Chain A
Amino acid sequence: MSLLVRRFAEFLNDLQQLERTAARSEAILEAFTRHTPFPAGALYLRDRDANLRLAAKSQQFVAPDILADEPPTEVIAAADRVLVPLRSGRDHLGLLALSGGEYSDEDLEVLRAAAAFVGTLVANQRMSQEMREGDFQLKYRLWELESLYDIGLSIAGTLNIDELADEVLFRMISLINARRAALFLRDGAGFKPYRSFGDVAVSDADLQRLLETEKPVTLENGTVVAVPINGNNQIIAVLAAGDRETRDGGIGAFEANELRLLSLFANQVGIALENARLHREALLKQAMERELELAATIQRDILPKSIPAIEAIEIAALSLPARQVGGDYHAFFERENGVTLLVADVSGKSMPAALLVSALHAAVQLLVREGRELGEVATELNRHIHHWSAENKFITLIVASIDREAETLQYVNAGHNPGYVLINGQLEQLKSHGLPIGMLAQSKYMTQTRPFPAGSTVVLYSDGITEAEDEATAEFGNDRLEALVRTACSPEEMRDRIAAAVREFVGAAPQYDDETLVIARTR
């Protein structure tokens, strides 16, 4: 084997070693300076920006960082230095500059052959690196998609907004290579920090600007961004990220893809916050429904469960509570020689109304059973209710006592709908003669008395009857009621006729108010 061939074989062997490990620039240069007559040199490789950048150099060798001139296509040999292009096919991959020794034509041939080998080696490694990077990018995209998908699943699977916010922040930070992130929630006209990872340099003024423009805000040369989170037709939160990492260890501005991702995460947070809000509202609704049920129970328990059997007096009653509990109340009190009937309507609905009905019930039971006359009952009731109930709470009330022996009817109407008496075919009204109970502390009520011969009928009702609306919101009215009351019949029959007429009039329209009817006829 000639010396040249042996030298080339050794050179090639060294270069082949480079193939097995990552071919570092220093190792390539070192192989050339060891196996050629040139003890010093520099290696330039083309970077991503197509510049020929210094990759390795011998000590003492003077070489600029970037070569301004395009490399030669062939080996250029000068007196004490040579320039060897590194190529693969038509690609110029780099340049070797070697110096310091005497050389022969054979040395140049060895250089050419070794440079061709290294060119292929560098090209292969570049291709391999590009493939690895491409593979990494593909996997990164998959990671991105999987993360968004997983967050979607998390949103569907939990209402714990704290956990969800952490998960979104962590995933978002991971994917956009941010060092810091924060979630701000709307708080009146501004925002308050809710969750954060590190400190994000977003001021109240920045957040206010975002609120006004309804657009993402970019700060600190793009290294901090804040995007709005929309929900319920307004900005309900802000997602901010800061300090995007770069591979060289620095901090850079967020790029378009990262801003897009940030917006996608913001949408997800918006959905999660909206879900949580809807859930809270549903819970509130449930609580209100429970309250309504409780109020309805209270009222049901208070109202008479049966009608007292009183000699020579027939009584019929109807109580139809609306779905939303109203405040109708009625009661019967058996008295010597007769009965006392009461119909009342307290202001408001739901639990407050039910509680007022409860207070009314307790007071009425006490006062009437003490045998006081009706004017005194109403006056005492007024004092009691005015003292104990809220300012805007009052009760309209009509109470009537039938004395069978005296054949009289005594009554008090405190701001209630007029009651009716039907005496010998003549219909008369029992009109209001005082303010509703509880409206003014000093109100006094006088008992009204009128004849009530045997065979007379008294009809008390709440405005739920006369103000029952049909689908066109027309009211049933007093005229229809009076026409039904005029027709002489038993209290039960009259009750059923009135109830049927109201139902027929209302049709499919919903019942908005309690309907109460109390009818009594003496024999």
Chain B
Amino acid sequence: MTEELKVAVERKPQGAILYTKGYINNVGGEEIANRAYELMDGGVRTLLLNLRETKIVNSIGISILIEIIEKMMDKGGKIGFCCLTPVIHKTFQIMGLANYASIYDNEEAAVKELGL
């Protein structure tokens, strides 16, 4: 098992999807943030983070995700998450991410609801 995070970006007509694979920690969180900010600077206002291949997220990773959500909210955009493991889903609820970003069971539902 590896601890490195990889991020893949898929542009959609109305935004983008970020696919993460690996551990969302400080390094991984920064990697996501860099990609997200690049997209936001390019005018993207709707982002979906598909965490299908992420099984671990730590508190630093969570605080970085919160920062990304806040920055997007400042710009009047929205962020959603999908395909979370039950443990990460519960963690997001406890840590308050679910209050500011929508969480979807699967990508199809997320794309539809976010209007991507």
Tell whether A245 pairs with B74 under 8 Å between CB atoms, given A139-B94, A146-B94, A175-B59: no
B63 with A136: CB separation less than 8 A: yes
Q: Is the CB of A198 within 8 A of B60?
A: no
Asked if residues A143 and B91 are in contact (CB atoms below 8 Å), the reply is yes
Verify A171–B60 contact, CB threshold 8 A: no
Residues of B within 8 A of A177 (CB): 25-26, 58-60
Which residues 168-190 of A have a CB within 8 angstroms of B? 170-171, 173-175, 177-180
Partner of B3, one of A150, A167, A179, A247: A179
Chain B residues with CB below 8 A from A25, complex form: none
Chain B residues within 8 Å of A139, by CB: 94-96
Give the CA-CA distance A139 to B97 in the complex, in Å.
11
Chain B residues positioned under 8 Å from A194 (CB to CB): none
**Distance of A172 from chain B, by nearest CB (Å):** 10
Instruction: Give Cα distance in the complex from A179 to B58, angstroms.
Output: 9
Whether A245 contacts B25 by the Cβ 8 Å rule is yes
Instruction: Determine whether A366 belongs to the interface, using a CB cutoff of 8 Å to chain B.
Output: no
Q: Contact between B26 and A245 (Cβ–Cβ < 8 Å)? A: yes
**Beta-carbon contacts under 8 Å, A77-94 to B:** none
Shortest distance from the beta carbon of A415 to any chain B beta carbon, whole Å? 64
CA distance A135 to B91 in the complex (A): 15
Give the secondary structure class of B's interface: helix
**Which residue of B27, B60, B74 contacts A247 across the interface (Cβ within 8 Å)?**
B60
Q: When the two chains form the complex, which single residue of A135, A142, A175, A198 contacts B1, counting CB atoms closer than 8 Å?
A: A198
| Closest beta carbon of chain B to A97's beta carbon, Å | 30
Complex alpha-carbon distance, A246 and B96, angstroms: 21
Q: Are B27 and A197 interface neighbours, CB within 8 A?
A: no
Chain B stretch 8-33: residues in CB contact (< 8 A) with chain A: 23, 25-27, 30
Judge if B56 is at the interface, Cβ distance under 8 Å. Answer: yes
If A139-B95, A143-B94, A198-B2 touch, does A179 touch B59 (CB 8 Å cutoff)? no
**A175, B95: Cα distance in complex, Å:** 12
| A249 within 8 Å of B (CB atoms) | yes
A408 close to B (CB within 8 Å) = no
Contacts of B27 in A (CB 8 A): 245, 249
A20 nearest CB neighbor, chain B only: B74
Does A140 lie at the interface of the complex (its beta carbon under 8 Å from any beta carbon of B)? yes
Alpha-carbon distance between A150 and B93 when the two chains are bound, in angstroms: 15
Interface size (B, Cβ < 8 Å)?
22
Which residues of B in the span 40-87 have a Cβ within 8 Å of any Cβ on A? 55-60, 63, 74, 87
Does A143 lie within 8 Å of B57, measured CB to CB?
A: no
Nearest neighbor of A21 in chain B, beta-carbon distance: B74
Q: Which residues of A contact B96 (CB under 8 A)?
A: 135, 139
A198→B23 CA distance, assembly (Å): 11
CB-CB < 8 A to B1: which residues of A? 196-198
- Do A249 and B30 touch across chains, with their CB atoms under 8 A apart? yes
CB-CB under 8 A for A142 and B56, given A136-B63, A198-B1, A245-B25: no
Q: A146-B90, A179-B25, A198-B3 are in contact. Are A174 and B60 (CB under 8 A)?
A: no
Minimal Cβ-Cβ distance residue in B for A245: B26
Whether B58 lies near A174 (C-beta < 8 A) is: yes
CB–CB A170/B25 < 8 A: no
Q: Which residue of A lies closest to B26 (CB)?
A: A245
Q: What's the least CB distance linking A114 to chain B, in Å?
A: 25
CA distance A180 to B2 in the complex (A): 9
Residues of B within 8 A of A167 (CB): 87
B65 to chain A, nearest CB (A): 12
Q: How far is the CA of A58 from the CA of B63 in the complex (A)?
A: 31
Interface string of A199-218 (1 = CB under 8 A from B): 00000000000000000000
Q: List chain A residues, Cβ under 8 A from B23.
A: 173, 179, 197
Q: Which of A196, A246, A247 has the most CB of B within 10 A?
A: A247
Q: Which chain B positions have C-beta within 8 A of A173?
A: 23, 56, 58
* Shortest distance between the CB of B21 and any CB in chain A (Å): 14
Query: Looking across the interface, which residue of chain A has its beta carbon closest to that of B63?
Result: A136
Q: Could you list 16 further interchain pairs (A-B, Cβ under 8 angstroms) beyond the known A136-B59, A170-B87, A177-B59? A: A136-B95, A140-B95, A143-B91, A143-B94, A146-B94, A150-B90, A173-B58, A174-B59, A177-B58, A178-B58, A179-B3, A180-B3, A197-B3, A197-B56, A198-B3, A249-B30
| CB<8 Å pairs between A and B, sample of 28 | A21-B74, A136-B63, A139-B95, A139-B96, A140-B59, A143-B91, A146-B90, A170-B55, A170-B56, A173-B23, A173-B58, A174-B57, A174-B58, A174-B59, A174-B91, A177-B25, A177-B26, A177-B58, A179-B23, A180-B3, A196-B1, A197-B3, A197-B23, A197-B56, A198-B1, A245-B58, A246-B26, A249-B30
Question: A residues engaging B (CB < 8 A)?
Answer: 21, 135-136, 139-140, 142-143, 146, 150, 167, 170-171, 173-175, 177-180, 196-198, 245-247, 249
Q: Tell me the B residues contacting A by CB distance below 8 Å.
A: 1-3, 23, 25-27, 30, 55-60, 63, 74, 87, 90-91, 94-96
